[in-house]
């Protein structure tokens, strides 16, 4: 089974065949909503990270329950989608990016399944899955969708957006993108040995760029809507090869 995290237009009832709502009992409580079904004969689980009514803020998402539930369902790969801001002039809003590295600036989240007596020291030198990323990049190129790859993403706590000072600070370290949800998702998937790659939908220039409106939730929603068809095309084009390779 291939898992997709995010939603972003992928909750179209016509997309999944034989779909059903799934509830998994986890040691970490209730997970975000999951629908399971088929796309072109391939079993797919779609997890709506924030909930159908956006009830979970970035800091209150049940990350550990979500990834555990996908593991229990038999996920052999996870494609995540996430809105992000650009910290680079050339990474323009309404384009797509496939990061290969992250910087963690969250402060409140449990990013490990480590428990007392069971310490997990998972290597994170290459946190995202290279093979999965290469497939998604190749299909984007074939479709003709503008993208960037091997970028560095910084995840902040949220739900507030950055101050101008913070945005400029992150730019000085040559970070490329900024979002609120990739950490700890990628860390937890790594511990459970599930290949994971996020597709970042660039919605804005954060708040560093002069003569550009500072990011708002309304801007993010509008540009996510515009980008959702691109992401849907990339994922649908990639599923058969991912199913074959993983």
Catalytic residue positions, numbered: 204, 206
Strand ranges in 33-88 using DSSP code E only, listed in sequence order: 34-39, 42-47, 77-86
CB 244 within 8 A of CB 22: no
Give me the sign of the Cα torsion angle 188, 200, 162, 123. positive
H helix and E strand count, the chain: 5, 9
* 8 Å CB contact between 146 and 54: no
Contact of 25 with 99, CB cutoff 8 Å = no
Q: How far apart are CA 182 and CA 67, in angstroms?
A: 12
By C-alpha distance, which of 232, 233, 223 is closest to 201?
A: 223
């Amino acid at each position: 089974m291939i898992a997709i995290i995010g939603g972003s237009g992928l909750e179209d009832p016509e997309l999944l065949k034989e779909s059903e709502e799934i509830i998994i009992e986890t040691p970490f409580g209730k997970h975000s909503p999951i629908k399971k079904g088929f796309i072109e004969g391939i079993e797919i689980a779609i997890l709506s990270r924030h909930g159908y009514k956006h009830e979970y803020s970035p800091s209150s998402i049940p990350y550990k329950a979500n990834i555990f539930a996908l593991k229990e369902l038999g996920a052999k790969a996870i494609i995540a989608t996430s809105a992000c801001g650009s910290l680079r002039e050339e990474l323009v809003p309404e384009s797509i990016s496939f990061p290969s590295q992250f910087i963690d600036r969250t402060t409140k989240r449990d990013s490990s399944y480590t428990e007392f007596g069971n310490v997990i020291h998972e290597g994170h030198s290459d946190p995202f899955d290279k093979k999965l990323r290469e497939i998604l990049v190749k299909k984007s190129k074939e479709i003709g969708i503008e993208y960037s790859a091997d970028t560095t993403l910084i995840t902040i706590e949220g739900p507030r957006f950055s101050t101008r000072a913070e945005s400029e600070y992150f730019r000085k370290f040559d970070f490329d993108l900024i979002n609120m949800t990739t950490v700890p998702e990628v860390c937890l998937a790594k511990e459970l040995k599930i290949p994971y790659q996020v597709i970042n939908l660039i919605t804005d220039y954060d708040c560093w760029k002069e003569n550009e409106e500072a990011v708002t939730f309304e801007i993010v929603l509008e540009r996510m809507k515009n980008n959702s068809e691109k992401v849907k095309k990339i994922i649908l084009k990639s599923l058969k090869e991912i199913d074959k390779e993983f």
